[in-house]
């Protein structure tokens, strides 16, 4: 195997990982040994539950910190920040594992305790030194970082050496050293947040690391280092408090790998404020017990109430200040989307859509892109959000949220997705309305062409003055019907057919033809305008054929409306119609098309008299 084949992330990670596993497992075995001394008999070992829990916490912290930091370094071996991160993992392993020797049941030689104390002191101070160096260069390199790094290493390194090997060695003095190192880390994290204020991606990482330091380092300082520094007993066992450092390593891993950078700022804010709220409750609780002599239960309740009363408004105000993002008014957003959808032209809709995106997200740059995808998504570590096509606009790219002061967050993606869905819903409704308008216009044009135009033409060529007047009256009635039909309202069947009955009787009377009119429908029944128009046209055409061809003495019109069908039958007692007429030619051909368009059927029978029968469904048939 070639040497370069060994230089892979897996190999770089596996070798240190095996060493870490061996060290951790070895210390765990030592911790299980009985008070009588070392033994290879597993049955004589202590139960894991009999061992002080601080031992397992310390081993877990050292094991986890070293493995995680080594993994990041294995993926980015040339990155200075990753190298420092790996070194910090080693120092964490040193101080956490070495501290467990004081939790063993068996007594070790004095030299072993001295060696463990030296390793613990070097690891604890070394962790603070390495972390300060890391925050001098990550996320961005701070001014004079080389000089500051050298001063940090030499200054804290010299003090640590003096504490261990000076004239009066005192390993307990490592606590003040780590306390001031942690203070330095806090200062550098704050400096990083300030230095990255113009870069939303880096600022998001800085905020995330700041929250981790507040939780991790702040937790250890407040419970162990601070009390030791000022002569008080620690609030937590040192080995238990090591668990706070896992928070720092988890956050640094996310930051160094730049995982979902666009969401780190919001997560950091949530973590930091929840932690501060917990500290506030604890501080108030202690103050009420110490100064006002409250009972512990009552003190905790009052502290919780006071902290919540202060915490919630401060949290809301701070979030608005830090994020620079105001929640858009939903009613105004809805009005804006509807206004865009109802714009008459596609160009106007596209322009208004861009304006809405600019108002909601405040990007520095909006560009049309060729392929935006079907969903809203964030790219370039949260600096770019891509929107799918909507409102007659091509897909858009929105770069740099809030004028470059923020990243696009998961909440922004959810908001943009909601706006796009609302826009598409409004567009679908507008398109449906436009289709309805077009269909209604086509219907009116067809009615005018097929019926009114034909009747006016017949009236124009009619030589009989009375007939001409009747045709014009019928045409005026049809025009009113077309107008009412366009309004889409239903009409009372009795009123419509009463007018039609009078009109039919007036037409038949001059020819000596008696009319028998039969209506079978429930009182107050309604009929759509389209069906009224079809019914009127059918009766008129049938009566016209009777007058022209049948030489009849009577006509019977029967109309029946039930739950499913509107049925019509027109019969006369005339001489019948010739075969060529009975084939639904002439004007009845158009009526056949009209009836069938409703899903109905029509038939015409000649012989001894003529019978026209038609059926129209009451409800519209679904198109196949």
Supply the pLDDT for residue 451. Answer: 63
**Model pLDDT, residue 143:** 92
Q: CB–CB of 174/160 below 8 Å? A: yes
Give the pLDDT of residue 512.
86
**Residue 122: predicted pLDDT:** 93
Mean pLDDT lowest among 135-144, 476-485, 581-590: 581-590
More confident residue, 172 or 47: 47
CATH number of 492-624: 3.30.565.10
pLDDT of 397 over the 90 cut: no
Q: Is the pLDDT of residue 225 over 90?
A: no
Name the residue with higher pLDDT: 478 or 538: 538
pLDDT at site 262: 40
Q: Which residues 6+ apart lie within 8 Å of 37 measured at CB? A: 106
pLDDT of 335 over the 80 cut: yes
Q: How many other β-carbons are positioned within 10 Å of the β-carbon of residue 583?
A: 13
Chain centroid, CA 568 distance in Å: 57
pLDDT of residue 506: 79
| 566 contacts 490 by C-beta, under 8 angstroms | no
- Tell me the pLDDT tens digit for each residue of 12-29: 888 888 999 999 999 999
Q: What is the per-residue pLDDT for 328? A: 67
User: Does residue 395 register a pLDDT over 50?
Assistant: yes
pLDDT of residue 307: 53
What is the 3-state secondary structure of 136-178?
HHCCCCCCCHHHHHHHHHHHHHHHHHHHHHCCCCCHHHHHHHH
The per-residue pLDDT for range 433-478, each reduced to its tens digit, is 888 778 777 767 766 665 666 567 667 766 677 767 777 777 777 7
Cβ atoms 396, 386 nearer than 8 A: yes
Give the pLDDT band (50/70/90) at residue 526. confident
Contact 182, 128 (CB under 8 A): yes
Domain boundaries, the chain: 3-259, 330-427, 492-624
pLDDT-derived band of residue 379, with 50, 70 and 90 as boundaries? confident
Residues 69-121 have pLDDT tens digits of: 888 888 788 888 888 888 988 999 999 999 999 988 888 898 999 999 999 99
Q: Which helix (H) or strand (E) holds 613?
A: strand 611-617
Mean pLDDT of the chain: 77
Greatest mean pLDDT among 4-8, 38-42, 282-286: 38-42
What percentage of the chain has pLDDT greater than the value 70?
76
The arithmetic mean of pLDDT across residues 235-247, rounded, is 80
Tell the burial category of 462 from Cβ atoms under 10 Å away from its Cβ (0-12, 13-18, 19+). Answer: middle
**CB environment 409-421: b (16+ within 10 A), e (fewer):** beebbebbeebbe
pLDDT tens-digit map of 408-421: 777 888 888 888 88
238, 220 Cβ separation under 8 angstroms: no
d(CA 589, CA 192): 85
Q: What is the pLDDT of residues 528-537, one digit of tens each?
A: 777 777 788 7
Asked if 269 and 207 count as a contact pair (C-beta separation under 8 A), the reply is yes
Listed residue (476, 466, 538, 545) closest to 513, CA to CA: 545
Residue (of 517, 495, 500, 514) closest to 570 by Cα position: 517
Position 3 scores a pLDDT of 47
Distance from the Cα of residue 273 to its chain's centroid: 24
What's the pLDDT tens digit per position in 130-183? Answer: 989 988 998 889 999 999 999 999 999 999 999 888 888 888 888 888 889 988
Predicted pLDDT at 152: 94
Beta bridge partners of 490: 528
Q: Residue-wise over 72-104: b if at least 16 C-beta within 10 A, else e?
A: bbbebeeeebbbbbbbbbbbbbbbbbbbbbbbb
Q: Which residues have CB under 8 Å from 528's CB, separation 6+?
A: 490, 491
Task: Evaluate if residue 579 carries a pLDDT over 90.
Answer: no
Question: Would you state the pLDDT for residue 116?
Answer: 92
pTM for the model: 0.53
Distance in angstroms (rounded) separating the CA atoms of residues 427 and 392: 9
For residue range 491-523, what is the model confidence (pLDDT) as tens digits? 777 777 887 888 788 778 888 889 999 988 877
């Amino acid at each position: 195997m070639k040497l370069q084949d060994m230089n892979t992330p897996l190999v770089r990670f596996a070798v240190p990982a095996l060493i870490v596993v061996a060290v951790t497992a070895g210390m765990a075995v030592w911790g299980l040994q009985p008070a009588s001394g070392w033994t290879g008999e597993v049955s004589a070992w202590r139960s894991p539950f009999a061992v002080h829990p601080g031992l397992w916490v310390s081993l877990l912290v050292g094991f986890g910190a070293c493995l995680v930091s080594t993994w990041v370094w294995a993926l980015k071996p040339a990155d200075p920040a990753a190298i420092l991160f790996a070194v910090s993992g080693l120092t964490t392993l040193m101080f956490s594992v070495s501290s467990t020797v004081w939790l063993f049941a068996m007594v070790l030689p004095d030299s072993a305790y001295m060696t463990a104390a030296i390793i613990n002191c070097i690891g604890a101070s070394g962790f603070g030194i390495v972390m300060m160096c890391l925050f001098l260069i990550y996320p961005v390199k701070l001014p004079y970082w080389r000089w500051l790094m050298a001063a940090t290493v030499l200054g804290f390194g010299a003090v640590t050496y003096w504490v261990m090997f000076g004239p009066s060695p005192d390993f307990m003095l490592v606590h003040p050293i780590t306390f001031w190192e942690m203070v330095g880390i806090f200062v550098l994290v704050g400096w990083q947040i300030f230095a990255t204020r113009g870069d939303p991606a880096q600022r998001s990482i800085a905020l995330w690391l700041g929250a981790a330091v507040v939780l991790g380092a702040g937790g250890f300082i407040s419970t162990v280092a601070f009390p030791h520094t000022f002569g008080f007993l620690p609030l937590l066992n040192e080995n238990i408090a090591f668990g706070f450092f896992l928070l720092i390593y988890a956050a640094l891993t996310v930051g160094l790998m730049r995982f979902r950078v666009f969401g780190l700022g919001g997560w950091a804010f949530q973590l930091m404020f929840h932690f501060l709220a917990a500290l506030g409750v604890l501080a108030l609780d202690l103050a009420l017990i110490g100064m006002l002599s409250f009972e512990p239960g009552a003190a905790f309740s009052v502290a919780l109430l006071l902290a919540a009363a202060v915490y919630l408004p401060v949290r809301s105000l701070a979030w608005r200040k830090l994020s620079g993002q105001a929640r858009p008014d939903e009613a105004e957003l809805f009005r804006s989307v509807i206004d865009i959808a109802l714009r008459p032209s596609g160009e106007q809709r596209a322009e208004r859509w861009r304006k809405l995106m600019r108002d909601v997200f405040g990007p520095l740059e909006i560009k049309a892109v060729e392929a935006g995808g079907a969903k809203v998504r964030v790219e370039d570590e949260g600096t770019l959000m891509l929107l799918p096509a909507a409102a007659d606009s091509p897909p858009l790219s929105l770069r740099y949220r809030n004028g470059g002061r923020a990243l696009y967050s998961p909440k922004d993606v959810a908001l943009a997705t909601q706006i796009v869905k609302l826009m598409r819903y409004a567009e679908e409704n507008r398109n449906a309305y436009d289709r309805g308008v077009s269909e209604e216009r086509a219907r009116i044009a067809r009615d005018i062409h097929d019926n009114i135009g034909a009747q006016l033409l017949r009236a124009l060529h009619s030589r009989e003055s009375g007939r001409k007047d009747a045709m014009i009256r019928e045409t005026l009635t049809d025009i009113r019907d077309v107008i009412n039909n366009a309004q889409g309202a239903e009409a009372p069947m009795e009123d419509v057919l009463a007018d039609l009955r009078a009109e039919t009787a007036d037409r038949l009377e001059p020819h000596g033809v008696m009319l028998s009119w039969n209506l079978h429908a429930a009182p107050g029944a309604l009929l759509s305008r389209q069906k009224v128009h079809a019914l009127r046209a059918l009766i008129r055409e049938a009566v016209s054929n009777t007058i022209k061809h049948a030489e009849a003495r009577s006509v019977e019109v029967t109309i029946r409306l039930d739950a499913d069908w509107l049925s019509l039958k027109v019969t006369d007692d005339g001489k019948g119609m010739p075969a060529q007429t009975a084939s639904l030619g002439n004007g009845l051909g158009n009526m056949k098309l009209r009836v069938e368009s409703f899903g109905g059927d029509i038939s015409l029978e000649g012989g001894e008299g003529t019978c026209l029968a038609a059926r129209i469904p009451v409800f519209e048939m679904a198109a196949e």
